[in-house]
Amino acid sequence: MTLARLAPAIFVLLWSTGWVVAKYAAFFADPLTFLVLRYTFAILLFIGFCVVTGARWPRSWTTIGHAIVSGMFLHGLYLGAVWWAIGQGVPAAISGIIAGLQPLMTAAVAPLLINENLTRQQQTGLVLGFFGIALAVLPKMVAIDTAATPIQILPVLVNVLGMAAVTYGTLYQKRHLQNGDIRAIATLQYAGALIVTVPLALALEDLQVTWNLQLVGALVWSVLGLSMGAIALLLYLIRRGQVSRAASLIYLVPPLAAVQAALFFGEALTLPMIVGTIIAVMGVYLTNRKAARPVPSGDAARSAAAR
Handedness of CA 215, 220, 221, 227 (dihedral sign): positive
Q: Does any domain span residue 299? A: no
For residues 64-92, average pLDDT: 88
Count of domains observed in the chain? 1
For residues 91-98, average pLDDT: 68
Is residue 241 classed as helix, strand or coil in its secondary structure? coil
Q: Does any domain span residue 300? A: no
* pLDDT tens profile 35-49: 999 999 999 999 999
Is residue 209 classed as helix, strand or coil in its secondary structure? strand
Say yes or no to pLDDT of 59 above 80.
yes
The confidence band for 179, taking pLDDT boundaries of 50, 70 and 90, is confident
d(CA 165, CA 72): 9
* pLDDT tens profile 108-160: 777 777 777 778 887 788 788 778 777 776 666 555 555 555 557 788 889 88
Instruction: Round the CA-based radius of gyration of the chain to a whole number and report it.
Output: 20
Contact status, residue 159 vs residue 102, Cβ threshold 8 Å: no
List alpha helices for 54-181, DSSP H. 61-71, 78-87, 92-99, 101-113, 120-143, 153-176
The confidence band for 213, taking pLDDT boundaries of 50, 70 and 90, is very high
d(CA 189, CA 290): 31
Q: Give bridge partners of residue 209 from the DSSP assignment.
A: 29
Domain with 173 in it:
3-291
* pLDDT tens profile 219-250: 999 999 998 988 888 888 877 765 666 667 76
Say yes or no to pLDDT of 294 above 70.
no
d(CA 172, CA 16): 23
DSSP state, 90? -
Q: Residue 68: CB partners within 8 Å, gap ≥ 6?
A: 188, 189, 191, 192, 195
Q: Does any domain span residue 306? A: no
Residues in the chain: 307
Q: What is the mean pLDDT of the chain?
A: 79
Q: Is 294 left (phi over 0), alpha (psi -120 to 50) or beta?
A: beta
d(CA 33, CA 37): 6
- Please tell me the predicted confidence (pLDDT) of residue 141: 57
Percent of the chain topping pLDDT 70 = 77
Q: Does any domain span residue 117? A: yes
Q: Give bridge partners of residue 29 from the DSSP assignment.
A: 209
Give the range among 15-29, 38-52, 133-147, 174-188 with minimum mean pLDDT.
133-147
**281, burial (CB in 10 Å: exposed 0-12, middle 13-18, buried 19+):** middle
- Please tell me the predicted confidence (pLDDT) of residue 47: 96
* pLDDT tens profile 188-212: 999 999 999 999 999 999 999 999 9
d(CA 234, CA 63): 19
Contact status, residue 173 vs residue 74, Cβ threshold 8 Å: yes
Contact status, residue 25 vs residue 36, Cβ threshold 8 Å: no
The confidence band for 53, taking pLDDT boundaries of 50, 70 and 90, is very high
Q: Does any domain span residue 236? A: yes
Give the range among 79-83, 179-183, 214-218, 249-253 with minimum mean pLDDT.
249-253
pLDDT higher for 155 or 101?
155
Q: Does any domain span residue 304? A: no
